[in-house]
Each structure stands twice: as C-alpha cells, then as structure tokens.
C-alpha cells in the first residue's frame, strides 16, 4: 500500500522544487535533501520527505500509471453526474477543477488519553473518572510509528494525545528524534498548547505539522466551554506555529450549544485568516460523562454544508473529513464528505487495545476492526469515487 506517488524533480528554485506526476506539476519545499533536476522524491503536505532511486521510482510509477488515469476518469465522471444538491455539487466541481483527484491520507496514533484540561465537550476531560486511562511509553510510540511506515507505507503520521504533562519537553524531543531517525515521514503533532520553545525544538528535529483547532471563533462560547483558557492565546499560538514553518491543521466544532449559523461562517472565515495548510472541522458528538452530555448532535447536512462552503470560499485548500463524520453517519459520512469538496482523511493506526479508550466522543467508528481492514475499506471507497490515495503536493 502506498500513500504517495513518487515524482520527478524538473525544476529547483532555492528550497522550492517543481515535481512532475504523469504530466501534472506540483511544488514542494525541500529542507532535508541535496536534489538535482531528474531526481525522484516523495512529497507530503508540500514538503519533500524522501529521496528515492530512479529504479525504485520508475517501478512504482509503472504500477500506478494505468490506475492513476483510470481514477481520474471516474472522478471526473462522478463530478459531472452528481445528483447531490447544488451547493455540494458546486463545491465538488471546484475541488476537482483546482486539485484533481488526489486525496491525502494520514495515519493517526493516539498515544495518551490523559488530559489536564476540563473542556466541557470532550470525553477525555480531566474530570471524567468513568474512562480507563492509558499512556504509551516512548519506545512503544516509536515502534508503532515504524510499523505504520514499514508495514503500510504511510508517508504522514499524526501523533495525538490529550494535553498530558507527563510527556515533558525532553520526552517529546526523544519521541520525535527517534521516530525521524529512521522514518522519512511528515510528522504531525497534535499535543495541544505547549510552550513555543518546545514546538521550536521539535521543529528543529524535523517535525513539520501541527494540528491545533481553535474549536469556536465565538469568544463567549470558547471561554464557557474551555474553562481557564483564552481564545486569543490559542489563535496566537497557531500564528506562531505557522510563522515557524509548521504545516497547520486547524478548524472548529459544529453543533456546540449556543452556536448559530453566523458563528459557523465566522469559524470558516477565522480558519481562512489563519491560512491553514489543512482545514479540520467536524461535528460535536456529546459524551455522556461531560456537562454537555444531553445535547443533541448536529445534522449531517450541517457538516456537509460547512465543508462545501469552505471549498467554495477557499478553492485550493485541503479539507479533512474527520472520523467523527463517519461516526455521525456510518454508511455514508466519509463518502459524502469527500463528494462535497473534501480531499483528505485519516486512518487510525493506534493499537487495538487502546483505540476504544481514546473516547473523546462515544461510538467512535472502526475501533472494533483491525488496521488492515480499516485501510482496505478506505482504499475501496476511494477507488469507487475515483480518488487517488496520495498527496501530490502544492
């Protein structure tokens, strides 16, 4: 299984390279390799993450070529023949026009469900005594990452946890250093509001992604549902991470009590102002062991509408379909999200013994299936709608 297609470098301009993929060109930032025109590379998130030999690349491209164009034809046909409502169809046409049929796939490893925060909407909040807690040791995290890279060829991995202070700066440094020593990947951190010096150190070691959602642009709702936290501090941290050079995932929750349509539009606009490399937003699914446990979950249409509006407002953006959308609609959530303009997803590669314990919301999908089954299911879906499971860069 391969979640990136190797491309041929055809132009180099300082640290930016132009890469050819079967006649399509994309750009990627190179910070780690000595490259010349004619070299073959893998890119993820607009970063060059690996240089590979010509023989290896040509062998992979030979296997990919027929499928690549076959999938493009399916995607184009489904875009033109869509029977979805007009807003969704417009958004998907914009996605197809500007970005083609590539779909970024990231693996995600949830390494701790301890959290020092008490956010009203989150099932792993500190005050929830009804869940079993776990945290992985450093070497266990590294081993799982190596397994995901070597066994399944993931080229991008997200390390996610609650805001767990047990993982000190030194421990996080050790984790990042050991993972990237032997695994050429885009490493994305979802570890919350750490101090900027910690993020600087992790960036210097090669981590290049940061997933940090602001949850809501409504200051009143933010402070109500995230006690002892300030929205502006969150936004400033996102901006600082962007300035450092991190690939930024950010976004919001849809369905928080008190949120209205104007708030959601403001959420989309704020995310756009932050210039994310990927939009990440999804439904608020209430957890029974939280202060918001009795709230009604949002409709599928409200999420699909937000995806579509985001695509129309930001035509060339990457938009993630979160796993919560699948939980909201197990049969069609992921498919509909992609057909409304999204072009990225994550596959959970957390070991099975931990998956059900990372209970940020109840009923999380696929926690009872093996990793191989989850991957096969996603690839089957992508092929059925003409999406190539690969990131071609910018």
pLDDT in tens, 114-146: 999 999 999 999 999 999 999 999 999 999 999
Is 57 part of any domain? no
Per-residue pLDDT at 190: 98
What mean pLDDT value characterizes the chain? 94
pLDDT above 90 covers a percentage of the chain that reads: 88
**pLDDT higher than threshold 70 for residue 244:** yes
- If one counts the domains in the chain, the total is 1
pLDDT at 2: 52
Q: Do residues 188 and 150 touch, judged by C-beta distance below 8 A?
A: no
Closest to 156 in 3D by CA, of 192, 184, 191: 184
Using the predicted structure, report yes or no on whether residue 12 has a pLDDT greater than 90.
yes
pLDDT at 364: 84
Whether residue 76 is contained in a domain is answered as no
Nearest to 393 by CA among 14, 12, 56, 21: 21
- Give pLDDT tens digits for 77-112: 999 888 888 999 999 999 999 999 999 999 999 999
Q: Tens digit of pLDDT for each residue in 249-278?
A: 999 999 999 999 999 999 999 999 999 999
In a domain, 46, yes or no: no
For residue 394, what pLDDT is reported?
67
Q: Is residue 240 part of a domain?
A: yes
Residue 1 has pLDDT above 70, yes or no: no
Checking DSSP bridges between strand 209-211 and strand 247-250, what pairing results, if any? parallel
380 assigned to some structural domain: yes
Average pLDDT (342-358) is 94
Instruction: Write down the pLDDT at residue 45.
Output: 87
> Could you tell me if residue 22 is inside a domain?
no
Tell me which residue range forms the domain holding 308: 96-384
Residue 34 located in a structural domain: no
What phi, psi does 233 have (nearest 5°)? -65, -40
CATH number of the CATH domain containing 196: 3.20.20.70
Residues 332, 357: contact at Cβ < 8 Å? Answer: no
Is 12 inside a domain boundary?
A: no
First to last CA, the chain: 22
Q: In the predicted model, is pLDDT for residue 368 greater than 80?
A: no
- Residue-wise pLDDT tens digits, 215-242: 999 999 999 999 999 999 999 999 999 9
pLDDT in tens, 153-210: 999 999 999 999 999 999 999 999 999 999 999 999 999 999 999 999 999 999 999 9
Better pLDDT: 1 or 333: 333
């Amino acid at each position: 299984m391969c979640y990136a297609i190797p491309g041929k470098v055809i132009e180099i301009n300082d640290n930016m390279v132009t890469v050819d993929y079967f006649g399509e060109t994309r750009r990627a930032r190179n910070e780690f390799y000595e490259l010349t025109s004619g070299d073959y590379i893998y890119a993820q998130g607009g970063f060059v993450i690996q240089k590979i030999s010509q023989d290896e690349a040509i062998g992979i491209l030979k296997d990919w070529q027929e499928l690549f164009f076959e999938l493009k034809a399916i995607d184009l046909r489904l875009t033109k023949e869509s029977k979805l409502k007009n807003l969704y169809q417009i958004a998907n046409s914009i996605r197809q026009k500007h970005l083609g049929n590539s779909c970024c796939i990231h693996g995600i490893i949830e390494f701790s469900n301890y959290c020092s925060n008490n956010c009203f909407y989150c099932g792993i909040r500190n005050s929830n005594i009804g869940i079993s807690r776990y945290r992985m040791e450093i070497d266990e995290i590294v081993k799982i990452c190596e397994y995901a890279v070597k066994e399944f060829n993931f080229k991008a991995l997200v390390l996610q946890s609650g805001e767990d202070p047990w993982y000190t700066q030194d421990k996080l440094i050790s984790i990042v250093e050991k993972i990237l020593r032997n695994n050429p990947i885009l490493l994305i951190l979802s570890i919350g509001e750490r101090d900027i010096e910690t993020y600087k150190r992790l960036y210097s070691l090669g981590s290049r992604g940061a997933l940090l959602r602001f949850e809501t642009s409504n200051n009143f709702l933010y402070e109500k549902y995230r006690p002892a936290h300030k929205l502006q501090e969150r936004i400033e941290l996102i901006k600082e991470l962007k300035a450092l050079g991190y690939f930024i995932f950010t976004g919001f929750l849809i369905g928080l009590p008190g949120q209205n349509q104007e708030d959601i539009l403001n959420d989309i606009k704020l995310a756009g102002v932050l210039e994310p490399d990927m939009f990440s937003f999804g439904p608020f699914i209430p957890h029974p062991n939280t202060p918001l446990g009795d709230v009604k979950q949002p409709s599928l249409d409200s999420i699909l509408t937000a995806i579509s509006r985001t695509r129309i407002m930001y035509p060339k953006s990457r938009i993630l379909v979160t796993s919560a959308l699948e939980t909201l609609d197990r049969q069609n959530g992921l498919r509909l999200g992609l057909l409304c303009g999204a072009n990225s997803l994550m596959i959970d590669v957390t070991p099975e013994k931990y998956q059900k314990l990372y209970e940020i919301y109840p009923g999380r999908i696929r926690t009872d299936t093996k990793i191989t089954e989850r991957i096969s299911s996603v690839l089957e879906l992508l092929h059925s709608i003409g999406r190539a499971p690969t990131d071609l860069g910018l």
